[in-house]
Structure 1
Amino acid sequence: MATNQEEVKLLGALGSPFVCRVTLALKLKGIEYEFVKEDLKNKSELLLKYNPVYKQVPVFVHNHKPISESLVILEYIDETWKQNPILPSDPYKRALARFWAKFIDDKVMGPSFKSAFTIDEKEREKNIEESSEALRVLENELKDKFFGGEEIDIVDIAAVFIAFWIPLIQDISGLQLFTAEKFPKLYQWSQEFLNHPVVKKSLPPREPLFAIFKGRYESLFNASK
């Protein structure tokens, strides 16, 4: 637990999967923190001060020291607070966990999001193919209840986008990127993950998020007509 002497802050926006990752790690470890809500259309001076390079959330602040980029923050949290580890202790397994977390960032998140929010049909098809291939790789990699075995680890946390955000994007766009028929093991994982008590408490409210993304989707495609 964070002591009274420690300052633990998270600068974030509720709809961000990257911010949700950090929230999950903090809650899994039982660390008390202050959430500072950011308006990304009107960024605060605090955000610009603490993350002058990317000017994005999340920013994690521990005793006035800021850290940016969600996967970097997750590793820092795991190294600082040893309870309920989210990275394996074995060096090789740690390296593999880092690899798969980065794979999700590079190969799943971008193409999946672009699959729904790209007007150009050829570009959209390319993104659908890329995201489907990446999900297939993860389907083959998943061996246990979670990527971390019986307990949630950094790969599961990184994959919150797959479990929560992709179904939301599907409901808006009508695309069938991630289904039980296509990816049975990964879909079962997503249900186990979403029903984990800590995960359930950490996810943003779905309806407001759905409304925001639906608005973006409709304005994008209405503008193209």
Structure 2
Amino acid sequence: MAEQEVILFGMCISPFSRRIELALKIKGIQYQYIEEDLSNKSPLLLKYNPVHKKVPVLVHNGKPIAESLVILEYIDETWQNNPILPKDPYSRAIARFWAKFVEEKILETGLKTNKVKGEELEQLKQEVHQNLKLLEKELEGKEFFGGEKIGFLDIVAFVVAHWFQVASEEVMQVEFISEEKFPVLHKWLGKLREIDVVKKCLPPRDKHAAFIKARFEAAKSAPK
């Protein structure tokens, strides 16, 4: 394949950006990384993602692709070495199903917990707990969601689990995914954190913690 220009517009702390970096590194794709300040978005970001105006954006030979799940599939279809999605159509569909589940039932529900209190908060926590149990059941008996190596769902789920884990530890001093409550997911999370290519895609802990604490304080003080 001829030399190709690959540019990733991202943000250090964004789990969605880190998904794309992880996929690019797994594939061994050379790329230029451009860090965005989301409080002062660059003209190029606004040009390449005029709809959502957010990261990540992958620009391949001048053509932009936005939204992390869409970008992941594009990367896998364009560079077919080290596939992250299964070749079997049914297995691909299942991976996509669980990726959507992670986005809607764990990520979106978990983010709502910053905005509520009391009984509503407890209800959301219980909902996240039940959804994590369902996700854990899908992982049972496997090294990774992708089987014996990191796959599409591992990339999608890991960044969500890791980011919530850091947030829970830093803000509430508890584990989001504890060994006692989620032994399979806890082991999977620890295993992924020890893989070199994954380590390279994690933001520095102090920077990550400072960002989360600032976001948490802003959410608390925001008008209801």
State the AA in 1 paired with 2:132. Answer: L
Matched, 1:50 2:64: no
Q: Which residue in the other structure is 2:69 paired with? A: 71
Q: Which residue in the other structure is 1:30 paired with? A: 28
Q: Which residue in the other structure is 2:185 paired with? A: 186
Q: Which residue in the other structure is 1:135 paired with? A: 132
Identify which of 92, 95, 103 aligns with 1:94: 92
Within 5 Å, which residues of 2 pair with 1:107-146?
107-115=105-113, 117-143=114-140, 144-146=142-144
Cα contact 1:87–1:154 (8 A) shared by 2:
yes
Measured in 2, the distance between the counterparts of 1:50 and 1:77 equals 17
Q: Which residue in the other structure is 1:11 paired with? A: 9
- CA drift of 1:125 comes to 1.8
3-state SS, counterpart of residue 181 of structure 1: coil
Q: Which residue in the other structure is 1:206 paired with? A: 205
Measured in 2, the distance between the counterparts of 1:119 and 1:126 equals 10
Cα contact 1:26–1:32 (8 A) shared by 2:
yes
Measured in 2, the distance between the counterparts of 1:23 and 1:96 equals 23
Measured in 2, the distance between the counterparts of 1:159 and 1:109 equals 9
Measured in 1, the distance between the counterparts of 2:90 and 2:222 equals 49
Task: Check 1:223–1:89 CA distance in 2 against 1; reply closer, same or farther (3 A cut).
Answer: closer
- CA drift of 1:178 comes to 1.8
3-state SS, counterpart of residue 159 of structure 1: helix
- CA drift of 1:108 comes to 0.8
State the AA in 2 paired with 1:131. Answer: V
Matched, 1:20 2:24: no
Q: How many residues align?
A: 221
- CA drift of 1:222 comes to 5.8
Cα contact 1:11–1:36 (8 A) shared by 2:
yes
Q: What residue ranges of structure 1 are gaps of 5+ in the alignment?
A: none
Task: Check 1:56–1:222 CA distance in 2 against 1; reply closer, same or farther (3 A cut).
Answer: closer
RMSD (Å) for aligned C-alpha atoms: 1.7
State the AA in 1 paired with 2:128. Answer: S
3-state SS, counterpart of residue 85 of structure 2: coil
Cα displacement string for residues 57-82 of structure 1 (whole angstroms, at most 9, x for unaligned residues): 10000000000010110000001111
Task: Check 1:212–1:136 CA distance in 2 against 1; reply closer, same or farther (3 A cut).
Answer: same
State the AA in 1 paired with 2:190. Answer: Q
Measured in 2, the distance between the counterparts of 1:113 and 1:193 equals 23
The worse-fitting range, judged by mean Cα deviation, of 40-49 and 174-183 is 174-183
Cα contact 1:17–1:160 (8 A) shared by 2:
no
Cα contact 1:146–1:156 (8 A) shared by 2:
yes
Q: Which residue in the other structure is 1:85 paired with? A: 83
- CA drift of 1:160 comes to 1.8
TM score, norm. by length of structure 2: 0.93
- Residue identity (%): 50
- CA drift of 1:216 comes to 2.4
Measured in 2, the distance between the counterparts of 1:223 and 1:88 equals 43
State the AA in 1 paired with 2:119. Answer: K
- CA drift of 1:110 comes to 1.6
